[in-house]
């Protein structure tokens, strides 16, 4: 039979389709046989979804003049389509090439301005489809500015506080990919912005044919680095980084939108206006770049410019920082900034130990200062015995708090210094373990000066301290005033024993009127104006948010304390389902995160409060409570020991911690010891896999975004200081991948395909899955498209909850009884 050309083409297409279908079915069947499928997104039960998508209390921002309040509601679960936007991974950055801004650019969906005096509200009307950034107040509080992200660029908008009216100031040519895209100048009338350079042209195309290999070479010097992600990998990456990061600085007048360009386009890691607005402190990044470290470690020129962009003073030429020791600092000037209470005075820190924390030296750092016009020699303000850890300036009187940190003891000290009078010796104000919550004096309250700079709020000789008020009974936030002359404190306010109330802002200089955020187990968070003098009048409510999830009020919550075998005091927060009947033993979820301590007494301290209003958001383990589980939340998981060797007993201590928590819950009559699951995220996932490998306390585990092979993080992990070559046995011992053959309980692994957290490469979960499965274990691997270390897309969050609930329902809640319960191998 003869076929014409048309018939031949038709049969060719049919044959091609049949072959393609056969190939597809073959590979699909192979995939199914090997446990590999592409699933559609699933959703948890309706009662979970109702809580997941319930509204939450907005965040607030108080104006610098303390007369207005912003109520800010951000988008919580963007659609996966937003995460699927194009992404360039360059030098530790994630850039959307369409917008020339961050790939994941959080935005708000509602902004309300509240006048604090009378509670009057003005809702800001954004354009339809707008994606505004969190607004920033002008120094005088009369205006606010924000970015608006479009499909193909980023705009700058400005608003009036009194009326809430907004208008576009700069069209879609803001460069937000790197550095600070906009900031207020001290005059409160001008914004310093970053623009896409004019005439930039189209993005550079990758070479169609490689011109040669990509080469890296060591110089013979030690180069210990963490396992950073999203680094530069090729010469083309380098030119892409320059294309998107290079910006043109400009000043824009908010009254008429007039633009004045400043200097030439460059790659600005930092630009900070001086308090008097006459100078700019600039850090410009340049070649040679690195394929080992992110942009923060690239070479840079640190300079002072005038407002036209003319070089006035060069502070430092900082070389590439590939050779900085782990937990070390670079040599030369660092932590450079303006002194906020002076017109134009530079302050910075320099290492005296070559940046190496292991060197024995009498002083590790020194604080330096130089005033405009920058023609004199810099002044050494003081030397610090330990590593510089922070500097805060008093509002008046020329004093400051400077902190240092002793990493060997994990100890922080705070000194009061007088930089302008070196005859006054530094005075030790506080000295305590950085993890000591019970003795924490609090954090100084800051305020904005008229130039926009932040300083410690001061009333005469008094400053104010806000603290969590941690105690064995839980947290009771407080407000103290502290005398900088006598170094004594007085308590002005402490939350009562039945609520959780925190200080948001001081509304008067003397601290007698404050803005607070108050909640109880039955009352949702709301904002109040409270008077702290003239008697305890009832606070005045500024907001009246109602309970969005009344079904959660029936959940029982209790702070529980107990001891582990060696006497270390531990705690967890117990959650019981709404319909719980006393004495019923429930399937139980243990959620924890290991933390290292040097002091057992500090490790024993209680965290959290039983008086918080319960909300459940994101892929939270607390949703298990609505599915009939008891949840042991924030189970204390201390690992106590010398910082250099604490992980030598990591496995023994986490098993001891878990055993103690389960034993306590069983004693209380709420936990069925035969139906307990363990779960954790990141380092908690590492803990989860190890607990399954080295104990028989649990029926199943859920490990999210974890690292399981420590040989892939060879220069340290978490707070481990030794390298793989210094402690090879430890790295092998604590790697659950090496004990995958011991995991005989079902393990669910979840990981974001775009995880960029140092150390938790997605391959960690992939290899752990292969190891457990290859040894005959029951294991499931869920890779979430476009998600990073935490999961944010609506579809991802819902699917994660579905997976978690289904896994524990199958392997914990409905697990068949075991003949005996092991307490550890």
pLDDT in tens, 503-534: 999 999 999 999 999 999 999 999 999 999 86
DSSP designation for 104? S
pLDDT band at 11, cuts 50/70/90? very low
Name the more confident of 591 and 6: 591
Please tell me the distance from the alpha carbon of residue 439 to that of residue 86, in angstroms, as a whole number.
48
Please tell me the distance from the alpha carbon of residue 697 to that of residue 676, in angstroms, as a whole number.
7
DSSP designation for 809? I
683: helix, strand or coil: helix
Q: Is the dihedral of CA 614, 620, 626, 628 positive or negative?
A: negative
pLDDT band at 24, cuts 50/70/90? very low
The b-or-e profile of 207-231 (16+ CB within 10 A means b, else e) is eeeeeeeeeeeeeeeeeebbbbbbb
In the numeric block, which tokens belong to residue 381? 């303000």
In the numeric block, which tokens belong to residue 676? 């307990």
Please tell me the distance from the alpha carbon of residue 188 to that of residue 13, in angstroms, as a whole number.
69
141: helix, strand or coil: coil
Domain-located, residue 663: yes
User: Which burial class, exposed, middle or buried, applies to 626 when counting CB atoms under 10 A from its CB (0-12, 13-18, 19+)?
Assistant: buried
Name the more confident of 535 and 505: 505
pTM: 0.93
Compute the average pLDDT of residues 806-820: 91
Compute the average pLDDT of residues 721-731: 96
Contact present, 295 and 284 (Cβ < 8 Å): no
Please tell me the distance from the alpha carbon of residue 264 to that of residue 286, in angstroms, as a whole number.
14
Q: What percent of the chain has pLDDT over 70?
A: 95
Q: What's the confidence (pLDDT) of residue 671?
A: 98
Please tell me the distance from the alpha carbon of residue 332 to that of residue 330, in angstroms, as a whole number.
7
DSSP designation for 554? G
Compute the average pLDDT of residues 697-705: 98
Contact present, 519 and 499 (Cβ < 8 Å): yes
| Residue 535: pLDDT over 70 | no
pLDDT band at 164, cuts 50/70/90? very high
686: helix, strand or coil: helix
Q: What's the confidence (pLDDT) of residue 22?
A: 38
Residue the block writes with tokens 């994606």: 131
* Residues belonging to the chain: 825
Q: What's the confidence (pLDDT) of residue 792?
A: 97
Please tell me the distance from the alpha carbon of residue 455 to that of residue 449, in angstroms, as a whole number.
7
Please tell me the distance from the alpha carbon of residue 692 to that of residue 698, in angstroms, as a whole number.
7
Please tell me the distance from the alpha carbon of residue 539 to that of residue 504, in angstroms, as a whole number.
14
584: helix, strand or coil: coil
pLDDT band at 599, cuts 50/70/90? very high
In the numeric block, which tokens belong to residue 315? 């502070």
Domain-located, residue 82: no
Number of structural domains, the chain?
Answer: 1
Please tell me the distance from the alpha carbon of residue 266 to that of residue 282, in angstroms, as a whole number.
10
Q: What's the confidence (pLDDT) of residue 13?
A: 43
Residues 413-440: tens digit of each pLDDT: 999 999 999 899 999 999 999 999 999 9
DSSP designation for 812? I
What amino acid positions are annotated as catalytic residues?
682, 755, 789
In 714-820, at which residue ranges do the beta strands (DSSP E only) sit?
Answer: 747-752, 779-784
Domain-located, residue 707: yes
Compute the average pLDDT of residues 336-352: 98
Contact present, 625 and 575 (Cβ < 8 Å): yes
Domain-located, residue 659: yes
Contact present, 351 and 335 (Cβ < 8 Å): no
Q: What's the confidence (pLDDT) of residue 221?
A: 86
| Residue 537: pLDDT over 90 | no
Domain-located, residue 817: no
Neighbouring residues of 205: CB distance < 8 A, sequence distance ≥ 6: none
Q: What's the confidence (pLDDT) of residue 35?
A: 58
| Residue 553: pLDDT over 70 | yes
DSSP string, 1-54: ----HHHHHHHHHHHHHHHHHHHHHHHHHHHHHTT---PPP----HHHHHHHTS
Please tell me the distance from the alpha carbon of residue 560 to that of residue 389, in angstroms, as a whole number.
34
Compute the average pLDDT of residues 800-807: 98
| Residue 6: pLDDT over 70 | no
Please tell me the distance from the alpha carbon of residue 192 to that of residue 263, in angstroms, as a whole number.
12
pLDDT band at 219, cuts 50/70/90? confident
Contact present, 778 and 747 (Cβ < 8 Å): yes
Q: Taking the CB of residue 653, how many other CB atoms lie within 10 A of it?
A: 23
Contact present, 47 and 750 (Cβ < 8 Å): no
Which of these, 632, 639, 649, 760, lies nearest to 698 by C-alpha position?
632
| Residue 25: pLDDT over 60 | no
CA-CA distances (angstroms) from residue 581 to 578, 588, 611?
Answer: 9, 15, 22
For 687, phi then psi, to 5°, come to -60, -45
The parent domain of residue 764 ranges over 550-812
Domain-located, residue 599: yes
Q: Strands 108-115 and 68-74, how do they pair?
A: antiparallel
Compute the average pLDDT of residues 58-85: 97
DSSP designation for 132? B
Query: Terminus-to-terminus CA distance in the chain, angstroms?
Result: 77
Name the more confident of 218 and 233: 233
| Residue 15: pLDDT over 80 | no
What mean pLDDT is reported for the chain? Answer: 94
Contact present, 662 and 586 (Cβ < 8 Å): no
| Residue 20: pLDDT over 60 | no
Domain-located, residue 15: no
In 489-594, at which residue ranges do the beta strands (DSSP E only) sit?
Answer: 489-494, 500-506, 513-519, 526-531, 540-541, 556-563, 569-576, 586-592
DSSP designation for 430? E
H-state helical runs in 150-254 = 235-245
CA-CA distances (angstroms) from residue 135 to 61, 145, 148, 158, 567?
Answer: 9, 5, 10, 9, 49
Domain-located, residue 589: yes
Residues 260-297: tens digit of each pLDDT: 999 999 999 999 999 999 999 999 999 999 999 999 99
Contact present, 328 and 286 (Cβ < 8 Å): no
Q: Look up the CATH number of the domain holding residue 678.
A: 3.40.50.1820
Please tell me the distance from the alpha carbon of residue 169 to that of residue 154, in angstroms, as a whole number.
11
DSSP designation for 511? S
| Residue 75: pLDDT over 80 | yes
Residues 324-337: tens digit of each pLDDT: 998 999 999 999 99
| Residue 23: pLDDT over 60 | no
| Residue 623: pLDDT over 80 | yes
| Residue 736: pLDDT over 80 | yes
In the numeric block, which tokens belong to residue 30? 């192979």
Q: Is the dihedral of CA 477, 478, 479, 481 positive or negative?
A: negative
Q: Strands 108-115 and 121-123, how do they pair?
A: antiparallel
Q: What's the confidence (pLDDT) of residue 770?
A: 98
In the numeric block, which tokens belong to residue 583? 């004495």
The b-or-e profile of 691-708 (16+ CB within 10 A means b, else e) is bbbbbbbbbbbbbbbbbb
């Amino acid at each position: 039979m003869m076929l014409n050309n048309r018939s031949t083409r038709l049969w060719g297409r049919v044959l091609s389709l049949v072959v393609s279908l056969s190939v597809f079915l073959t590979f699909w069947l192979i995939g199914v046989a090997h446990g590999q499928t592409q699933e559609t997104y699933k959703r948890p039960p309706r009662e979970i979804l109702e809580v997941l998508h319930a509204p939450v209390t907005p965040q607030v921002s108080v104006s610098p003049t303390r007369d207005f309040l912003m109520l800010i509601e951000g988008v919580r679960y963007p659609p996966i389509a937003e995460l699927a936007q194009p992404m360039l991974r360059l030098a530790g950055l994630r850039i959307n090439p369409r917008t020339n801004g961050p790939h994941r650019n959080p935005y708000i969906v509602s902004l309300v301005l509240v006048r604090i005096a009378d509670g009057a509200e003005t809702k800001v009307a954004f354009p339809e489809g707008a994606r505004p950034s969190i607004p920033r107040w002008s120094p005088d509080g009369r205006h606010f500015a924000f970015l608006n992200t479009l499909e193909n660029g980023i705009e700058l908008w400005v608003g009036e506080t009194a009326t809430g009216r907004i208008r576009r100031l700069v069209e879609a040519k803001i460069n937000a990919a790197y550095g600070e895209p906009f900031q207020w100048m001290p005059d409160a009338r001008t914004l310093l912005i970053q623009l896409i350079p004019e005439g930039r042209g189209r993005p550079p195309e990758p070479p169609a044919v490689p011109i040669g290999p990509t080469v890296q070479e060591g110089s013979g010097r030690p180069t210990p680095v963490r396992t950073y992600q999203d680094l530069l990998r090729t010469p083309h990456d380098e030119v892409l980084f320059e294309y998107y990061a290079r910006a043109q600085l400009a000043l824009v007048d908010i009254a008429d939108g007039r633009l004045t360009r400043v200097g030439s386009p460059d790659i600005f890691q930092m630009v900070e206006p001086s308090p008097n607005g006459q100078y700019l402190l600039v850090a410009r990044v340049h070649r040679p770049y690195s394929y080992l470290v992110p942009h923060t470690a690239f070479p840079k020129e640190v300079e002072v410019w005038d407002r036209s962009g003319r070089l006035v003073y060069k502070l430092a030429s900082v070389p590439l920082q590939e050779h900085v020791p782990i937990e070390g600092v670079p040599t030369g000037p660092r932590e450079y900034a303006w002194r906020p209470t002076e017109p134009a005075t530079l302050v910075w820190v320099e290492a005296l130990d070559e940046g190496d924390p292991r060197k024995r030296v009498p002083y590790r750092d020194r604080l330096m200062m130089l005033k405009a016009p920058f023609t004199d020699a810099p002044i050494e303000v003081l030397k610090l015995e330990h590593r510089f850890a922070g500097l805060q300036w008093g509002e008046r009187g020329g004093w400051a708090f400077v902190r240092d940190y002793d990493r060997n003891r994990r100890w922080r000290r705070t000194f009061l210094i007088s930089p302008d009078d070196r005859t006054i010796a530094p005075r030790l104000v506080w000295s305590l373990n950085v993890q000591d919550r019970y003795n924490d004096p609090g954090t100084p309250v800051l305020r904005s000066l008229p130039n926009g700079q932040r300083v410690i709020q001061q009333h005469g000789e008094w400053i104010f301290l806000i603290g969590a008020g941690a105690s064995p009974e839980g947290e009771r936030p407080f407000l103290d005033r502290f005398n900088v002359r006598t170094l004594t404190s007085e308590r002005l306010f402490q939350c009562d024993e039945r609520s959780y109330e925190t200080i948001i802002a001081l509304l008067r200089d003397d601290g007698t009127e404050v803005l607070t955020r108050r909640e109880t187990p039955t009352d949702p968070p709301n904002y109040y104006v409270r008077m702290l003098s003239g008697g305890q009048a009832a606070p005045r409510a500024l907001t009246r948010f109602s309970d969005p999830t009344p079904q959660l009020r029936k959940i029982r919550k209790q702070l529980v304390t107990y001891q582990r075998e060696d006497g270390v005091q531990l705690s967890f927060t117990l959650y019981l389902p709404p319909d719980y009947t006393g004495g019923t033993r429930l399937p139980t979820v243990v959620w924890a995160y290991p933390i290292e301590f040097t002091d057992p007494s500090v490790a024993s301290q209680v965290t959290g409060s039983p008086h918080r209003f319960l909300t459940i958001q994101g892929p939270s383990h607390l949703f298990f409570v609505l599915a009939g589980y008891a949840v042991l939340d924030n189970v204390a998981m201390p690992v106590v020991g010398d910082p250099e060797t604490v992980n030598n007993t990591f496995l023994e201590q986490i098993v001891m911690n878990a055993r103690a928590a389960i034993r306590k819950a069983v004693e209380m009559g709420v936990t069925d010891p035969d139906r307990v699951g363990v779960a954790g995220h990141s380092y908690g996932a590492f803990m989860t896999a190890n607990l399954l490998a080295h104990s028989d306390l649990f029926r199943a585990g859920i490990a999210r975004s974890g690292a399981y092979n420590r040989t892939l993080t060879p220069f340290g992990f978490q707070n481990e200081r030794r390298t793989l070559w210094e402690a090879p046995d430890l790295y092998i011992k604590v790697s659950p991948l090496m004990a995958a053959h011991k995991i005989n309980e079902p393990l669910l692994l979840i990981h974001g395909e775009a995880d960029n957290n140092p150390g938790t490469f997605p391959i960690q979960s992939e290899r752990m899955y292969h190891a457990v499965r290859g040894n005959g274990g029951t294991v499931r691997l869920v890779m979430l498209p476009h998600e990073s270390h935490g999961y944010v897309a609506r579809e991802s969050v819902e699917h994660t909850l579905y997976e978690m609930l289904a896994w524990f329902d199958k392997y914990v809640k409905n697990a068949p009884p075991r003949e005996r319960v092991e307490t550890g191998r």
